[in-house]
């Protein structure tokens, strides 16, 4: 166990080291931050002076050593754009992203378990087939497109005039398919409640929740079909197993067999695969946040790339690296706890 954690720690350090070296190696090509810090009519000589003072002219190794020394002490440098410590900028954007991921996870869990279980129990029912059909469509729609479609339908609104308006049924159908479209699709809203420090939450007010709905649904849309299919597949396998057959033969109620015995055994692989997937959702937040202008880390990262805000880019990548390693470690730990036969030494995620 200890050996496992140490191994993981080394893993994390390695990832962060590689990221920081990479990011440092390319920084000259990202653009010149000084260009953005001074006015257009400032002559080159003055710019050179600033570059010198910020140490942007030093050799690569000197700059990297300086960065590494500070980074070890938790100082990742100042964001050129925000003029604040990069870590603080990230800390300010982190809660928005985490809330989004949390809400999406909640949606996934709430929907995938019942749907997955149902379609495993009744694989041939029309409803199961419908769910399976929808889920493969879901997999085939990229997350940003889901987001755009949601915006069109629920934020902008759709007016359908496909059916003859003069007939009663036509008007009704037109009305039925048209949407109002006044859901907020933009930012976090104004009714944020401060929880602690710089964590303002969307979860405490009606307005905040409304703003959260569309981004969370579109973020969930990428993982939900995967989870439904995963749970269904695992559940079906469990249902074939000897002990379920035995339990059934023993006369235990079907409900109990499904939801206590079978589901418990289904959840183990789901947790391992699922836990890792939750971590990877951070990647999809870049897309979701861009579409919904959700002021989280993903949007911040994309802006930072465009602004050549090197300290912020490096810090973001390192933080995300840590998030991935941590989620994977937690998943492995849970897996180890639930299923003690798994040895935790050296086993990769």
Residue 78 pairs in a beta bridge with 85
Please check whether residue 182 is in contact with residue 157, taking contact to mean a CB–CB distance below 8 angstroms: yes
3-class SS of residue 78: strand
Helix (H), strand (E) at residue 193: strand 193-196
Give the nearer residue to another protein in terms of CB position, either 218 or 328: 328
Name the one residue in this structure whose structure tokens are 């409304």.
210
Give Cβ neighbours of residue 232 (< 8 Å, ≥ 6 apart). 116, 117, 119, 120, 123, 132
Find the radius of gyration of the CA atoms of the chain. Answer: 25
Buried b / exposed e over 13-45, threshold 16 CB at 10 Å, is eebbeebbeebbeebeebeebbeeeeeeeeeee
What minimum distance in Å lies between the beta carbon of 76 and another protein? 16
What minimum distance in Å lies between the beta carbon of 248 and another protein? 17
What minimum distance in Å lies between the beta carbon of 171 and another protein? 19
What minimum distance in Å lies between the beta carbon of 32 and another protein? 5
What minimum distance in Å lies between the beta carbon of 338 and another protein? 20
What minimum distance in Å lies between the beta carbon of 18 and another protein? 9
Give the nearer residue to another protein in terms of CB position, either 179 or 253: 179
Give the nearer residue to another protein in terms of CB position, either 167 or 280: 280
CA distances from residue 191 to 131, 203, 302 in whole angstroms, order as listed: 36, 10, 26
What minimum distance in Å lies between the beta carbon of 268 and another protein? 18
Rounded to an integer, what distance in angstroms lies between the CA atom of residue 137 and that of residue 124?
19
Rounded to an integer, what distance in angstroms lies between the CA atom of residue 241 and that of residue 247?
10
Give the nearer residue to another protein in terms of CB position, either 241 or 251: 241
CA distances from residue 154 to 158, 179, 202, 216, 285 in whole angstroms, order as listed: 8, 7, 19, 14, 20
Give the nearer residue to another protein in terms of CB position, either 42 or 171: 42
Give the nearer residue to another protein in terms of CB position, either 167 or 306: 306
Rounded to an integer, what distance in angstroms lies between the CA atom of residue 117 and that of residue 236?
9
Give the nearer residue to another protein in terms of CB position, either 87 or 151: 151
């Amino acid at each position: 166990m200890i050996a496992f954690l140490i191994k993981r720690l080394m893993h994390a350090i390695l990832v962060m080291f590689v990221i920081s070296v990479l990011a440092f190696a390319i920084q000259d090509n990202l653009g010149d931050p000084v260009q953005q810090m001074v006015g257009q009519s400032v002559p080159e000589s003055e710019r050179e002076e600033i570059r010198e003072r910020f140490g942007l002219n030093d050799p690569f190794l000197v700059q990297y050593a300086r960065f590494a020394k500070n980074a070890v002490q938790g100082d990742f440098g100042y964001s050129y754009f925000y003029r604040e410590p990069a870590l603080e900028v990230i800390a300010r954007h982190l809660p928005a992203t985490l809330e989004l991921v949390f809400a999406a996870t909640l949606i996934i869990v709430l929907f995938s378990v019942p749907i997955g279980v149902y379609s495993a129990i009744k694989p041939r029912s029309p409803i199961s087939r419908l769910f399976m059909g929808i889920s493969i469509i879901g997999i085939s729609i990229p997350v940003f497109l889901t987001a755009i479609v949601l915006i069109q339908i629920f934020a902008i609104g759709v007016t359908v005039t496909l059916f003859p308006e003069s007939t009663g049924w036509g008007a009704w159908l037109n009305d039925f398919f048209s949407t109002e479209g006044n859901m907020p699709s933009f930012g976090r809203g104004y009714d944020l409640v401060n929880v602690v420090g710089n964590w303002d939450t969307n979860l405490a007010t009606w307005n905040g929740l409304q703003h959260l709905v569309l981004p969370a649904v579109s973020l969930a849309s990428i993982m939900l079909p995967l989870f439904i299919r995963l749970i269904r597949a695992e559940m079906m396998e469990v249902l074939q197993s000897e002990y379920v057959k035995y339990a059934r033969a023993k006369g235990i109620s079907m409900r109990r067999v499904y939801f206590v015995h079978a589901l418990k055994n289904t959840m183990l692989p789901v947790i391992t695969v699922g836990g890792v997937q939750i971590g990877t959702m951070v990647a999809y937040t870049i897309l979701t946040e861009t579409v919904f202008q959700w002021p989280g880390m993903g949007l911040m990262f994309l802006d930072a790339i465009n602004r050549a805000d090197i300290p912020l880019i490096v810090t973001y990548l390192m933080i995300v690296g840590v998030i991935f390693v941590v989620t994977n470690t937690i998943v492995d730990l849970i897996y180890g706890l639930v299923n003690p036969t798994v040895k935790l030494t050296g086993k990769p995620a």
